[in-house]
Copies of this chain bind each other. A is one copy, B any other.
């Protein structure tokens, strides 16, 4: 059932001993939403703990350090920033069918919870939770604001992407007026600027592998299993690299092709602006969003590239 802020308030004010589930492969928005909501529940006198199927990366420790995830037999199950129970990882089996409240911003939300507070136009789950806290007139602590800012900054690419709502900017303005103690620039540095040495070297290698087609409108980075072995790159290290295919000026579509099994390429498409890559991927048996989509192509690297080039060429016409 889809609900509004009023029903969500009633639920939160009357719940007890809550588990807050965040999605696997956690990011700044689900961690921020989980720990931000935990702070709000604490203001209401409700015990809670945040759970995540995967280990939370070190870079998010400023949100989790010193926060006690209380131990209790849960009476309330809440999911944040989770569109589908599949994304709960090992918690799907335990809690997937028992979620009472889901707070989310994904249009693709499967409506799996008893009650879903869905705001599909919001930049981030953290934007929804900030609005809810304001609606409820609860105190937003410094730690809570830090978490919610981080989520909004994460999902908007630091206010860079199309999905950045006016409200996201308004919330950032309100926070900057209210919380002098928060070092927003440091959060942004850790979320958007720093990388590990390994990642830096990997990105440098990727620059060498960029090939441009169709007058520079298409950039492909294709990595075979042999290449990964020769360069000493593991599959998880390749996660999140697709956006760098868009960094050249003229590029409209960037594609990262990774050989996952011999003769099978996992292709991640990114659109710089107007081209709908979801439509392109559908012609190749895949799908996704307008600006980020994917598909799997079978064949050797040259055959797979040719298929990508042909599909993009058609879309550009």
CA A272 to CA B189, docked complex, whole Å: 8
Which of B177, B185, B197, B201 lies in contact with A161, CB distance below 8 A? B185
Complex A-B: 18 CB contacts under 8 Å: A159-B169, A160-B185, A160-B188, A160-B189, A161-B188, A165-B176, A166-B174, A166-B177, A173-B173, A185-B273, A189-B272, A190-B249, A194-B247, A194-B248, A194-B251, A200-B207, A204-B205, A204-B207
CA A190 to CA B184, docked complex, whole Å: 24
In the A-B complex, the 5 residue pairs with the smallest Cβ-Cβ separation, listed nearest first, are: A169-B173, A204-B204, A162-B185, A166-B176, A166-B173
Chain B contacts for A161, CB-based, 8 A = 185, 188
Closest chain B CB from A128 CB (angstroms)? 17
Which of B166, B185, B247 lies in contact with A193, CB distance below 8 A? B247
Chain B contacts for A14, CB-based, 8 A = none
Closest chain B CB from A4 CB (angstroms)? 22
Assess the B200–A248 pair: CB atoms within 8 A: yes
> Which residue from chain B places its CB closest to the CB of A196 in the assembled complex?
B249
Closest chain B CB from A248 CB (angstroms)? 6
CA A48 to CA B256, docked complex, whole Å: 48
* Contact surface of A with B, Cβ cutoff 8 Å: 59, 158-162, 164-170, 172-174, 176-177, 183-186, 188-190, 192-197, 200-201, 203-205, 207-208, 210, 246-249, 251, 272-273
| 7 extra interface residue pairs, beta carbon distance < 8 Å, beyond A166-B173, A168-B173, A170-B173 | A158-B159, A160-B193, A164-B176, A189-B272, A195-B247, A195-B248, A204-B205
User: How many copies of the shown chain assemble into the complex?
Assistant: 2
> Which residue from chain B places its CB closest to the CB of A58 in the assembled complex?
B249
Closest chain B CB from A159 CB (angstroms)? 4
Chain B contacts for A168, CB-based, 8 A = 173
CA A210 to CA B159, docked complex, whole Å: 30
> Which residue from chain B places its CB closest to the CB of A162 in the assembled complex?
B185
